[in-house]
Amino acid sequence: MIRFLLHILLLFCYSNLFSQNKETYFSAGVQAHYGFVIVHSEDVRSVENSFPIGLSVDLMRTTSSPSTWNQCKCFPTVGLSVTYWNFNSPDILGMAINSVFFVEPEFGIWQNLHFSFRAGLGFSYLTKPYDKVSNPDNLSYSTHVAFPLQASLFVNYRLKNQWTIKLGVDYNHISNGGLKEPNKGINYPTASLGVNYYVHRPVPSVNPYKDIVNDFSLSPRMELYTFIARKEIETNNHGALWGFGGSAYWPISRINAVGGQLEVTHNIAQQKRYENSGLESAAWQLGIAATNDFPLGKFYFSQSFGYYLLKLRSEDYDFYQRYVLTYAIQKRLLIGVALRAHGHIADFLELRLGWQW
């Protein structure tokens, strides 16, 4: 599954980051980060005095063509960000190198000032995974390779035509998606300050506000999907799980929609974990969720907050969250990845296939 995810990510990065046309421009940036690790349970109390510092290098591509506007209803930047993290916890958390592919659309342009939102996912290499002998206090991650997620909000100010300064707030999450336990995850908000340099910044050939009202449709979007995932049952033994669901979204603005979701999960892996511990368990989960969605043309980034109508065991979590990034490879067909979590703890990382209308 990790190899499959890597192939998808590399293909997506290549097709979006390095393809070009006459209205494509490239940029590079650096950012410095500082933040703190959230102590979301007593299991990670040992890292409460961890204050991560980081340094990022970004390579980005922006297209200002009419076809891009028709796909995204904005002029998005796509890019690859490589970040070095020092968690200031050398004996427990160690350090990390994150490689994250991101999408960053820009909004609210006022002369030289504008806002942008970044959503990214990728791969991370971490230096101090859990070991019952040498590092028993690290319950946050137990593998060298994990999956970082990033959500950021930036204020961007153009100093000159080729230079922009960025001030941002970021929420970062690193976990292995339930592939191996312990996996409490590292959750750390940060503040960031950086600068971007644009090799060339052409004037867009379309006016993004000319027909903005006509771009906004009140028609709902419906989606049916199925997903698969893997989860650790016991050490070096993994099990599969799968599910399906449906969502409905109603637009409330050009870039935002709200809706609901019903989802069924056949969680064989978790059932086997319970049974291996001598506990009885059902195999099916049923959840209902409220959902927020950012439809950016062919991209969809959604966040759901759900309640289990049916659980494996009565003692299980009542609520869950889900974060989904999908891409419309055709008008109706969607592919994507998603993370389901309970509070600050990742449950599993999934691959999904969907159909929309």
Q: Inform me whether the pLDDT recorded for 326 exceeds 80.
A: yes
In tens, the pLDDT along 132-171 reads: 999 999 999 999 999 998 999 999 998 877 899 999 999 9
Helix (H, G, I), strand (E, B) or coil at 354: strand
Q: What is the DSSP string of 56-117?
A: EEEEEEEE-SHHHHHHHSS--EEEEEEEEEE-S-TTTT-EEEEEEEEEE-EEEEETTEEEEE
Cα distance between residue 190 and residue 154, in whole Å: 12
The pLDDT, as a whole number, for residue 48 is: 84
All structural domains of the chain: 2-198 (2.40.160.20), 216-356 (2.40.160.20)
φ, ψ of residue 213 to 5 degrees: the values are -70, -40
Nearest to 182, CA basis, from 234, 105, 127, 245:
234
Two tokens at 74? 């904005």
Q: Which of 42-46, 51-55, 86-90, 269-273 has the lowest mean pLDDT?
A: 42-46
Q: Which of 30-44, 204-218, 299-313 has the lowest mean pLDDT?
A: 204-218
Q: Inform me whether the pLDDT recorded for 101 exceeds 50.
A: yes
The answer to whether the bond into 208 is cis (omega within 30° of 0) is no
- Which band of pLDDT confidence, cut at 50, 70 and 90, is reported for residue 286? very high
Cα distance between residue 186 and residue 149, in whole Å: 10
The pLDDT, as a whole number, for residue 276 is: 87
Position 49, amino acid:
N
Torsion of CA 176, 180, 182, 186, to 10 degrees: 0
- The predicted model scores a pTM of 0.73
In tens, the pLDDT along 193-235 reads: 999 998 876 555 555 555 444 555 678 999 999 999 988 777 6
- The arithmetic mean of pLDDT across residues 173-185, rounded, is 85
Which run of H or of E encompasses 316?
none
Query: What value, to the nearest 5°, has the Cα angle with vertex 173 and ends 169 and 175?
Result: 170
Q: Inform me whether the pLDDT recorded for 329 exceeds 80.
A: yes
Position 87, amino acid:
F
Report long-range pairs for 14-21 (Cβ below 8 Å, ≥24 apart).
16/61, 16/78, 17/59, 17/60, 17/61, 17/78, 17/79, 17/80, 17/101, 18/61, 20/61, 21/63, 21/65
Cα distance between residue 293 and residue 56, in whole Å: 28
Radius of gyration of the chain (CA): 21
Distances (CA, A) of 219 to 70, 250, 251, 314: 17, 7, 7, 39
